[in-house]
Structure 1
Amino acid sequence: MTSIGIEAISVFGMPPVDFVALAAELGCQHISTGLTSFDFGVEDHAPYSLRDDARLRRDMIAAMRDTGVSISLGEGCTIRPGVDARDYRADLDLFGELGVQRINTVSMDPDRARTFDQFAVLAELSAERGMVTTTELAPSLTVADLPTALAAVAHVGRPDFRLLIDTMHLGRAGATAADLAALDPALIDYVQVSDAPLQPRFASYFEESMFQRMVPGEGELRLAELLAVLPPERIYALEVPLRAEARAGMGAKERLGRCVRATRDLLAAARSARDAAA
């Protein structure tokens, strides 16, 4: 069954309990979160720390219980030079307390061999806590393309270390629907959906990916083709930061409501395409 989530950067630092309520109001089943807030400089949200504030964790757990929304992805376990994956043990414990189903990791360490080894350490620590680990490719990261991501999965060699497919990063890295269709579906654990032009609009890839993507179906990524070959029984999470719209006064419910409706339409079209092919 396909379910829809909302990723944390789409709400520009909205406090966790409010984020849970928004997801429920939009009919979404999941959200992603890190343990501390990040100042996006877009909307006026108070800072928070799920790491340090036990009461906030309890309030969030209660909100999720009351709404049926869960945390599908824990974020922030980044591989960096000088940082050991074992340093994330306490954070992984907190993610476990919050009922997190999987964590995602990316690498900003240019040492590919060390990156892959650190992925393996983190995957083992996550598995000890009952969580899956995913990694995503992005042209700005050490794991910059699909072949490198597949090499990482092969190196780790665990069935609970899998791929997270971000449609913007995938398209910008040059991968196609045919490339995805050639993969074992079991390798793909999670999908982040957004749209974008094929050519960058910003001088900084980081700025574009963090602040201004496009509503699914309004860009050039051929999402209908991608979604038709991705496994349907996955979480499809909206990673669609829309800074310009937010600064123009469009609230999170309106911005993301557009994205939810567009994604549901695309998923329905993908389902029809799979049925026709069968």
Structure 2
Amino acid sequence: MPHPLGLELLTVLGLGPVEHVTLAADLGCTAVSMGLVQLPERFNPHGYPGWSLRDDAGLRRELKAVLADRGVSISIAEGLGVSATLDATERAADMDLFAQLGALRVNAVDMGVERARAFDQLATLAAMAGERGMEFSIEFCPAFTIRSLAEALEAVRHIGEGQATVLIDSLHFFRSGGKVREIAELDPALIGHVQLSDAPRKAEGDYMIEAMSGRMIPGQGELPMREFVEALPRGQVLGLEVPLMAAAQSGRAVRDYVGEIVTRTRELLV
């Protein structure tokens, strides 16, 4: 298969960082997305113990060791989005921690921040990531200020050539009106990371509820997943972002349902 798979933070629903990496490696995934603290309680249906990479130096050492031992990389550092009140420079300590953990890329969203501030703050984050040897990507979402691929590319141009890329989440891309040909026509160097999930062709109800808990396994919905992936640069890591809340809440084991996500995705992409 030309595309290695990654296992995103939201998919494992509160699992600890070391266990996350171990599960990814056991399932043949080469990358994970990682935050510094556990997701909010509503995204921890298994009731895993709380954890914080900010506060626990021992956990950071364990994580670095398992990443090296299992050959897994942190494809994106999460949780460093733009805030309406917090200045981007206040993210420095978190940036330092991600750099120490070997994260390849910092990803940021704007969370609905006013456009001019969002662009300027993203530029500051991009510079901070670059100073620490990490790449930087911008994630667009129909519910935020930077709503589409075209608007994310505007932000990239604002930051400067070679300083930023876009993260393309398949759900956000299609829900913002994206067409597969836009991916095929895009300069591959502008694609920093890709997150994969499926959905019904037409949205129903609150978009953020769908985005956070209503995603489907690739191939199980109605979006043109195969065409989407075929338009991507060969070898692009596909981060699986499919939080199966219903499966977790039913008592199904994380290894079971995450294993199904990985298996079914591989079947789709063969």
Alignment TM-score, normalising by the size of structure 2: 0.95
Of 219, 222, 235, which aligns to 1:220?
222
Q: Which AA in structure 2 matches 1:45?
A: Y
**Quick one: distance in 1 between partners of 2:168 and 2:264?**
18
Q: Which AA in structure 2 matches 1:229?
A: A
Tell whether 2:104 aligns with 1:106: no
Is the 1:17–1:59 contact (alpha carbons within 8 Å) kept by the matching residues of 2? Answer: yes
Query: Mind listing any 5+ residue stretches in structure 1 that lack a counterpart?
Result: 269-278
Of 137, 145, 167, which aligns to 1:164?
167
What stretches of structure 1 move > 6 A for 4+ residues in a row?
none
Is the 1:212–1:244 contact (alpha carbons within 8 Å) kept by the matching residues of 2? Answer: no
Is the 2:156–2:163 contact (alpha carbons within 8 Å) kept by the matching residues of 1? Answer: no
Is the 2:14–2:44 contact (alpha carbons within 8 Å) kept by the matching residues of 1? Answer: no
**Quick one: distance in 2 between partners of 1:90 and 1:3?**
31
**Quick one: distance in 1 between partners of 2:104 and 2:269?**
23
Q: Deviations over 1:219-270 (max 9, x none)?
A: 11101111111112221110000111111222221212122122223333xx
Residue matched to 2:62: 59
Of 77, 80, 87, which aligns to 1:77?
80
Of 118, 122, 138, which aligns to 2:121?
118
Tell whether 2:20 aligns with 1:4: no
- What's the % identity of the aligned pairs? 44
Residue matched to 2:254: 252
Tell whether 2:191 aligns with 1:188: yes
**Quick one: distance in 2 between partners of 1:240 and 1:26?**
15
**Quick one: distance in 1 between partners of 2:219 and 2:165?**
26
More moved, 259-268 vs 238-247: 259-268
Residue matched to 1:134: 137
Cα displacement (A) at 1:41: 4.2
Residues 110, 62 of structure 1: alpha-carbon distance in 2 compared, 3 angstrom cutoff: closer
Q: Which AA in structure 2 matches 1:154?
A: R
Residue matched to 1:49: 52
Task: Please report the RMSD computed on the Cα atoms of aligned residues, expressed in angstroms.
Answer: 1.3
Cα displacement (A) at 1:117: 0.9
**Quick one: distance in 2 between partners of 1:53 and 1:204?**
36
**Quick one: distance in 2 between partners of 1:105 and 1:222?**
26
Residues 262, 160 of structure 1: alpha-carbon distance in 2 compared, 3 angstrom cutoff: farther
Query: Mind listing any 5+ residue stretches in structure 2 that lack a counterpart?
Result: none
**Quick one: distance in 1 between partners of 2:269 and 2:189?**
19
**Quick one: distance in 2 between partners of 1:191 and 1:109?**
21
Of 165, 168, 177, which aligns to 1:174?
177
- Give the aligned length: 267
Where 2:89 maps in the other structure, the secondary structure is helix
More moved, 24-33 vs 107-116: 107-116
**Quick one: distance in 2 between partners of 1:111 and 1:193?**
28
Residue matched to 1:150: 153
